Amino acid sequence: MNKRWVVGNWKLNKTCAEARAFTEGLRAQLQSLAGDVTCIIAPPFTALQTVASAGPDVGVAAQNIYGQDAGAFTGEISAPLAAEAGARYTLVGHSERRALFHETDGQCAQKLTAAARAGLCPILCVGESAQDRAQGRTAQVVEQQLEGACGRYLQGQEGPLMVAYEPIWAIGTGHTPAPEDAQAVHAVLHQALGALMPQGAAAVPLLYGGSVTADNAAAFVSQRHIHGVLVGGASLTLQSFVRIAQVLSA
């Protein structure tokens, strides 16, 4: 798979005005990308439409969706609403959603199906804690999360999928696994996807996320089963985000 993806997760950051300035700057820089790189931004819900208005050359992702399309769910955003605002992708099961809001694999499964109904491509996030890693449970944890969320979704071939491996212990810490270690986990995910969808696993992009910078991005995507990166803090500054995209396009 020669195509590369750079997904920027802004989390709880940026006003609409800041989002507009960033996205306009990003569009102006896209011509500097030499290879086949897709840039996707996951802004706060309030800025989805702002980022989407930049044009089709910048992908837009919701940071989260609810598992139902409508109803008495105060404070939630459904997949159809996110799609109407311009999203074409959505994060599902980000480690902060799992840790802070206690989201389960079952809830992630509902969100995958909801995303498919609305025509969104879900980016499922999986990853282990520092304790899991110390106990040698990384492969077991990520495989369980993948199968728990994707089992029914992939058996029904309901829609597209991307998977991001983001070791919890690496997010925002400045610490990352060696690229070879990240590749080993991605190989586990690729094999697990092959068991769930024998004919289609090769078409599922696998991303690495966790303290990604322009200095380490190339080393990760040089690995066989790593096709892109999910960027947190480094996506908040236009210069650093564009530099990561340029590195991946070289």
Residue ranges of domains in the chain: 4-249
Task: Say whether domain 4-249 belongs to CATH 1.10.645.10.
Answer: no
pLDDT of residue 156: 62
Catalytic member of 94, 186, 225, 227:
94
pLDDT of residue 198: 76
**The two three-digit tokens of residue 37, written as one number:** 């790189």
pLDDT of residue 136: 95
Catalytic member of 166, 186, 225, 227:
166
How many other C-beta atoms lie within 10 A of the C-beta of residue 40? Answer: 25
Distances, alpha carbon 105 to alpha carbons 53, 142, 161, 193, in Å: 33, 11, 16, 16
Query: Per-residue DSSP letters for 191-238?
Result: HHHHHH-TTTGGGS-EEEESS--TTTHHHHHTSTT--EEEESGGGSSH
pLDDT per residue, tens digit, the chain (250 aa), is 679 999 999 999 999 999 999 999 999 998 878 779 999 999 999 999 999 998 788 999 999 999 999 999 999 999 999 999 999 999 999 999 999 999 999 999 999 999 999 999 999 999 999 999 999 999 999 999 999 999 878 776 667 899 999 999 998 888 899 999 999 999 999 999 988 887 778 899 999 999 999 999 999 999 999 999 999 999 999 999 999 999 999 8
Contacts of 74 (CB under 8 A, 6+ apart): none
Known catalytic residue at 166 = yes
CA distance 172 to 191: 28
pLDDT of residue 196: 87
Sign for the pseudo-dihedral over CA of 56, 61, 65, 68: positive
pLDDT of residue 157: 61
